[in-house]
Copies of this chain bind each other. A is one copy, B any other.
Amino acid sequence: MKRENSEGALIQLRAYIAQGEFETNDRLPAERELCETLGIGRSELRKAFAILESEGAIWRHVGRGTFVGNGKGQGPDYLSIADIAKRTTPREVMHARLVLEPMLAREAAMHATAEHVEQLRDCCAKAREATTWRQYESIDNQFHSLVTEATQNTPLITMYEQLNALRRTIVWGCLHRHTETPTPDHHSFAEHEAILEAIEQRNSEAAQIGMKRHLQAVRDDMFPSD
């Protein structure tokens, strides 16, 4: 019964609040009293409270007490990347990128600022200097993120981030390549620069097509059968 330390207090506290039938904004017992009731130390109790507070399940104030927050807060307010990852495949994620990202490039061509273009240019330059696949992957990822940021649309940016997080979760470690180091004539370099040029010239159609071609090439690298 010594294993209940790390998370036991949290579980115990959650159960207490749930079965205690507290309504929203009801006050619950003081810390010193509650930690005695639950038979745990005050630091354990406060640690559990800190987590519940970060979740919005409770709120507290000095001199007043601790109160239960909006009960719905623990609901489906968020999407867990890990849970989504269990229900999809690398192929699906690649396909989703092929659907979403060309449209992001199109939007970027219409909304990018001069500063965005400058950052993209820097990114393309650094890509050619990459000496390891690890470096290249990082810079490639940065390029796509910058294109997305250039759309200046928060919902689109968060959707891309979700897709990106999903990709990293799923293909975590599947980064083996045919060659040891990136070669200067790798198709991605020219493709990235074509996208950059299209964005710079405000040519949304070319940006969309450029991104589509690039991702099709990436897909063909990943799944040579196609």
Contacts and interface: CB of A to CB of B under 8 A. Distances in A.
Nearest to A60: B6
Interface in A68-86: 72, 75-82, 84
Given A72-B165, A159-B159, A165-B72, A84 B50 contact: no
How many copies make up the complex?
A: 2
A142 B18 CA distance: 15
A187 interface: no
B153 A96 contact: yes
A92 B153 contact: yes
Given A78-B79, A80-B77, A156 B50 contact: no
Chain A's interface: helix, strand, loop or mixed, by majority?
Answer: helix
Contact of A47 (B50, B88, B104): B50
B99 A156 contact: yes
A166 B162 contact: no
A25 interface: no
B80 A78 contact: yes
A165 B96 CA distance: 19
A155 B93 contact: yes
A166 B157 CA distance: 13
A193 B100 CA distance: 25
Contacts of A154: 84, 87-88, 92
Given A54-B51, A72-B81, A163 B169 contact: no
A99 B88 contact: no
Interface of A: 10, 46-47, 50-51, 54, 72, 75-82, 84, 87-88, 92-93, 95-96, 99-100, 103-104, 106-107, 153-156, 158-159, 161-163, 165-166, 168-169
Given A72-B169, A79-B158, 14 more contacts: A10-B54, A46-B47, A72-B81, A72-B168, A75-B165, A78-B78, A78-B79, A84-B154, A92-B154, A96-B153, A99-B104, A100-B100, A100-B159, A159-B159
List the 5 closest A-B pairs by CB distance, nearest first. A78-B78, A96-B155, A88-B154, A51-B54, A47-B50
